[in-house]
Amino acid sequence: MRALDMVDLRQEKLLWNVREAGAALSISPWTVRLYIRQRKLQPVRVGRRVLLEPEECRRFLDTCKRPRRERGGTTRKHSRKAER
């Protein structure tokens, strides 16, 4: 491996700690830990350290996405105006 390749590897972190993963996901570190306990996120444990791969965070975000509703119609049987 060339020295240039080594520099590229050092610039991009391979694993994030809980705080960094929380910042990337816009949630608190406590929520990251909760999701790990609930097995929504799969950590990499190195000794006592709990780390997450950036790809695991992307996978988690993909599972959280809701499909967009189509515009134009109401999804309820009755509209609010009809209830009044």
Strands (E), 37-81: 44-46, 49-52
Asked, for residue 1, whether it belongs to a domain, the answer is: no
Asked, for residue 44, whether it belongs to a domain, the answer is: yes
Asked, for residue 76, whether it belongs to a domain, the answer is: no
CATH number for 46: 1.10.1660.10
| Structural domain that includes position 46 | 8-63
Asked, for residue 43, whether it belongs to a domain, the answer is: yes
Asked, for residue 14, whether it belongs to a domain, the answer is: yes
pLDDT tens digits for range 25-45: 999 999 999 999 999 999 999
CA distance readout (Å), 65 to 3, 8, 59, 80: 40, 31, 10, 27
pLDDT tens digits for range 52-83: 999 999 999 999 887 777 776 666 665 566 55
Asked, for residue 47, whether it belongs to a domain, the answer is: yes
Q: How far apart are CA 15 and CA 24, in angstroms?
A: 12
Asked, for residue 30, whether it belongs to a domain, the answer is: yes
The token duo for 75 is 């999804």
Number of domains present in the structure of the chain: 1
